[in-house]
Amino acid sequence: MRKRKYKINKILNNNVILAIDVEKMQEIVLVGKGIGFAKKANELITLSDKEIEKSFLNFDESTKKEYLNLINDIDDRIILICEKIINISEMEFGKLNNHIHIALTDHISFAMERVSSGIEEKRK
């Protein structure tokens, strides 16, 4: 099992961090259960492939800001579920556009809010 070193740029929540892959010197978003828990910005950490459920990079600045804003407002469980859905979809259909991380997470979060508030969509 391969382990890599990352320098944490920002803790987004307990399950998502923005980091620099030390070996590749690339900014990357890492998703994994508890990988941000009790960590701090600028901390150097080592993670195995098993600990990382999903990683993605190559965001343009606009997409990155949109994703970071979205993550701050959404329950960690929804983010993890969306990342699992995306991962399964990519295994079946191949690489998806990075914007799917924003679109799917936002869509499911909004649907959950409507359900929690008792708002149902009326269909004709």
- Domain 3-116 matching CATH 2.60.40.1180: the answer reads no
pLDDT at residue number 108: 93
User: Max alpha carbon distance in the chain (Å)?
Assistant: 55
Token pair for 39: 């960590």
Does 64 or 124 have the greater pLDDT score? 64
pLDDT at residue number 121: 64
Residues 99-116 have pLDDT tens digits of 888 889 889 999 988 888
Amino acid letter, residue 120 = E
Does 50 or 69 have the greater pLDDT score? 50
111 CA to centre of own chain: 18
